[in-house]
Homo-oligomer: A and B are copies of this chain.
């Protein structure tokens, strides 16, 4: 039996019109479509492709056993996720070995953070795999601000809001352009780090970049706003501009 192929399909920042031509074509033809989601939710990745799936597509939602219920530092967190990925992979591998192609939907770019890589590393030595890169969520975010993020020789640092405040502040101080992802409940810590680095007034907050509910504002104007986990903060570089 000739095996199928596992496709890590980057969906881009959220607007289906920003998917690549290749991703669009593979998605519309796919008979098996897998995606991650939080239990009880429809899932952001699945929502992005609403109305695009083949009439015969069989969906395989992969529901995280934990998200924020256990701290990431707890050994139980990694153990629970590891068991979960093992289960997901067993199902996908069986499908692919039976000759079926399987598309795994990936928000943003499959190799830039995200969960696909945990499937990828477990399957790459066993079945054919193809990764389709995509526009990152951060690219959607800086485009939404209407200002280029990097000029000339600017240094760009990308970091997660989950990092300690001191790490954030140090990195922010030594970089020209800054992207902070995974904001959510970390927003006050991120704000404080930006202030320490003297970059708070230059920061922008982007929610749902490229999606119908997109919001874009200076972070200083956001007040005590509660913002989603997938919000992005951008500080633009100020490099050479002839």
Chain A residues in the interface with B (C-beta under 8 A): 12-13, 15-22, 24, 72, 77-79, 81-82, 85, 109-113, 117-118, 120-121, 124, 131-136, 139-140, 142-143, 146-160, 162-163, 167, 170-171, 174-175, 210, 240-242
Contacts and interface: CB of A to CB of B under 8 A. Distances in A.
16 contacts: A18-B20, A18-B22, A18-B133, A19-B21, A20-B21, A78-B242, A82-B242, A111-B139, A111-B142, A111-B148, A113-B151, A113-B154, A117-B151, A131-B146, A157-B157, A174-B174
A20 B136 CA distance: 12
A119 to B, nearest CB: 11
B111 A147 contact: yes
Nearest to A77: B242
Contacts of A109: 135, 139, 143
A82 B142 CA distance: 24
A163 B158 contact: no
A214 to B, nearest CB: 13
Identify which of A24, A85, A132, A158 gathers the most chain B CB atoms within 10 Å of its CB.
A158
Contacts of A78: 240, 242
Contacts of A154: 113, 160
Contacts of A20: 12, 17-21, 135
A157 B175 contact: yes
A82 B187 CA distance: 40
Q: Which 5 A-B pairs have the closest CB atoms?
A: A81-B242, A117-B148, A156-B158, A133-B143, A111-B148
A140 B111 CA distance: 10
Contacts of A134: 135, 139
